Amino acid sequence: MSERPNILFINTDQHSWDAISAYGNPYLRTPNIDALHRNGTSFRRSYCTDPVCAAARSSWATGLYTSETGVPFNGGHLHPEIPDIGQVLSESGYKAFHCGKWHVPGRNVRESFQTLYYGRRNIGAGGAAYYDSASTHAVADFLTNYDSNEPFYLQIGYVDPHDVCEYLHNHEEKRIPNPVEQGIVSEDVLPPLPENFDYDARETVLHRVCRRVDDALIHAAILKGVRDWDALQWRYLRWNYYRFIEKVDAEIGRVLALLRETSLHHNTLIIFSADHGEACGSHQMFQKFTLYEESVRVPFIVSYLGEEIPIEKDRFDETHFVSGVDVFPTVCDYAGIDVPKGLQGSSLRPLAEGRDVPWRDYAYIESNYWGRAIVTEGYKYVTEYKPKAVEDFVPPGPDAEQFGFAQLFDRQDDPGETKNLAEDEAYGETVKACEDKLLTQEAKLHRQAIVHPSPKRVISNWGERLRLYWQHTE
């Protein structure tokens, strides 16, 4: 089409890739996200850049990986000289609007966007019950009153299904009987335990210290609370998670209904994705922060409710590895704007249009500053960097000499990632090939020292714990 479209980026929080009814999940109903799929292309090999809110969102905002942005975890701080998507669009003739959750520490969303709603106090990690409906109302007011001839970019950050975390926090201080004992639900309505509820304990040191040991660095209180859960309690966690997704799907439905009632839908591209997933009992794990598939694989749909924009509809792209770094260049491509130099992502527009273009053959993911993963056609390779003896606060890599433990999973034979093949000599060449891809990708990154005191404190404290563990291990 000749004129530049409006662009609507709808994102949810903590939404795993397969928690959509159009994708065959029988335990929830998402009619409105299903409609986005029917009117667009769903990228089935879509991965976040880092499985935690602020880190993943820093990649959406900049087109960079989290070891580049200065936000390798929730307590990071975006490097001030890096331009964000709102700034770039505003400087290029687009009206850039934001509504809902932002959560990119170090960047004031109100200075990069015109904000429709961001709360009297800035929207933090959770609070969907308060914020999501207010966000929808603000968007409704915007869509029904927008009268400019200039195209707009609007990103809507919904909080749900992140509020599943609030459900988990309830178990920190008290033991709550399973829901059948309480008479809340009958057992037959609960989803089954995930097939990969059990796991291979040969995990990275980083993962064990962050998520498994009694004094885990991340959510130790919740971990203590769920240690004695029975199967019904894990199943009820999944049941609750799906209800939070249905709540946010309803909010999305209200936005889509309003869009259809205006003339805007004829010229509005819609992108839908999530910052990261939710373990929901897989590997006996909860929340995110890990490099397992449930945490790192997310939905990504490019959609259009009209007919003028040539997007292939009701289609699954099962081939191309898509990343959170691709949001920024995709938006710029449809907007007719040159991307800033040094971006790591690529535009999904040619893929959504069904064109054959050169593309990456893997996904690259970071986690908790030291964690790394490569996902290929056949395998997932997970590893870690050992903490530096003297921390210089430059995110680690590429440095094969500092690799710690590793995990290797066969994606065809073991999609649930339950058998670690990294120590099997028969897979030595596969491990080496994955290491080479990882090091090659890391050599392309533009790292710089983290200088903000808050993330430096986290790196120092976590690094000390990890070094102690490594001393005992070695």
pLDDT string in tens for the chain (474-residue length): 458 999 999 999 999 999 999 999 999 999 999 999 999 999 999 999 999 999 999 999 999 999 999 999 998 999 999 999 999 999 998 999 999 999 999 999 999 999 999 977 778 777 898 999 999 999 999 999 998 889 999 999 999 999 999 999 999 988 899 999 999 999 999 999 999 999 999 999 999 999 999 999 999 999 999 999 999 999 999 999 999 999 999 999 999 999 999 989 889 999 999 999 999 999 999 999 999 999 999 999 999 998 888 999 999 999 999 999 999 999 999 999 999 999 999 999 999 999 999 999 999 999 999 999 999 999 999 999 999 999 999 999 999 999 999 999 999 999 999 999 999 999 999 999 999 999 999 999 999 999 999 999 999 999 999 999 998 876
Residue 211 resides in a domain: no
- The pLDDT score that the predictor gives to residue 383 is 98
**Domain count along the chain:** 2
Cβ burial, residue 24 (10 Å; 0-12/13-18/19+): exposed
Instruction: Please tell me whether residue 36 adopts helix, strand or coil conformation.
Output: helix
Reported as type and span, the H/E element at residue 294 is: helix 293-296
Tokens of 255: 């936005």
One domain, residues 16 and 131: yes
Instruction: Please tell me whether residue 41 adopts helix, strand or coil conformation.
Output: strand
C-alpha of 320 from chain center: 17
Cβ burial, residue 419 (10 Å; 0-12/13-18/19+): middle
- The pLDDT score that the predictor gives to residue 263 is 85
Residue 216 resides in a domain: no
One domain, residues 340 and 375: no
- The pLDDT score that the predictor gives to residue 474 is 63
Question: What are the CA-CA distances from residue 55 to residues 11, 203, 406, 448 (Å)?
Answer: 15, 22, 22, 16
Angle at 66 (CA atoms; ends 65, 68), nearest 5 degrees: 75
Q: Are 308 and 70 in contact (CB under 8 A)?
A: no
One domain, residues 289 and 420: no
Q: Provide φ and ψ at 405, rounded to 5°.
A: -75, 165
- The pLDDT score that the predictor gives to residue 126 is 78
One domain, residues 249 and 123: yes
300-304 and 152-157 strand pairing: unpaired
78 backbone φψ class: left, alpha, beta (φ>0; ψ -120 to 50):
beta
Q: Are 97 and 153 in contact (CB under 8 A)?
A: yes
One domain, residues 310 and 393: no
Q: Any idea what the CATH number is for the domain that residue 35 is in?
A: 3.40.720.10
Count of alpha carbons within 13 angstroms of residue 420, beta-carbon side: 16
- Which amino acid, one-letter code, is at 285? M
Residue 215 resides in a domain: no
Question: Domain containing 406: what range?
Answer: 363-473
Q: Return d(Cα 90, Cα 356) in angstroms, integer.
A: 31
One domain, residues 300 and 420: no
Residues 6+ apart with CB under 8 A from 268: 5, 6, 7, 8, 259, 304, 305, 306
Q: Return d(Cα 292, Cα 276) in angstroms, integer.
A: 11
**pTM of the entire structure?**
0.97
One domain, residues 150 and 294: yes
One domain, residues 368 and 457: yes
One domain, residues 386 and 308: no
Q: Return d(Cα 310, Cα 349) in angstroms, integer.
A: 9
- The pLDDT score that the predictor gives to residue 1 is 46
Whole-number CA gyration radius for the chain: 21
Residue 203 resides in a domain: no
Residue 206 resides in a domain: no
Look at residues 295, 330, 352 and tell me which one is the last residue of a structural domain: 352
Residue 219 resides in a domain: no
Count of alpha carbons within 13 angstroms of residue 190, beta-carbon side: 19
Residues 452/458/459/461 CA torsion (nearest 10 deg) = 140
Look at residues 296, 326, 352 and tell me which one is the last residue of a structural domain: 352
**Cβ neighbours, 10 Å, residue 358:** 7
Q: What is the DSSP string of 90-138?
A: HTTT-EEEEEE----TTS-HHHHSEEEE-TTTTP-S--HHHHHHHHHHH
- The pLDDT score that the predictor gives to residue 453 is 96
Instruction: Please tell me whether residue 246 adopts helix, strand or coil conformation.
Output: helix
One domain, residues 391 and 302: no
Q: Any idea what the CATH number is for the domain that residue 458 is in?
A: 3.30.1120.10
- DSSP lists the bridge partners of residue 98 as 115, 155
One domain, residues 327 and 415: no
Q: Provide φ and ψ at 391, rounded to 5°.
A: -75, 125
The answer to whether the Cα torsion of 316, 320, 324, 325 is positive or negative is: negative
Residue 261 resides in a domain: yes
Instruction: Please tell me whether residue 197 adopts helix, strand or coil conformation.
Output: coil
- Which amino acid, one-letter code, is at 263? S
Q: Return d(Cα 283, Cα 202) in angstroms, integer.
A: 12
Question: What are the CA-CA distances from residue 319 to residues 180, 282, 435 (Å)?
Answer: 42, 25, 22
Question: What are the CA-CA distances from residue 406 to residues 186, 214, 441, 468 (Å)?
Answer: 41, 22, 18, 19
Look at residues 352, 386, 405 and tell me which one is the last residue of a structural domain: 352
Q: Return d(Cα 54, Cα 73) in angstroms, integer.
A: 6
One domain, residues 283 and 148: yes
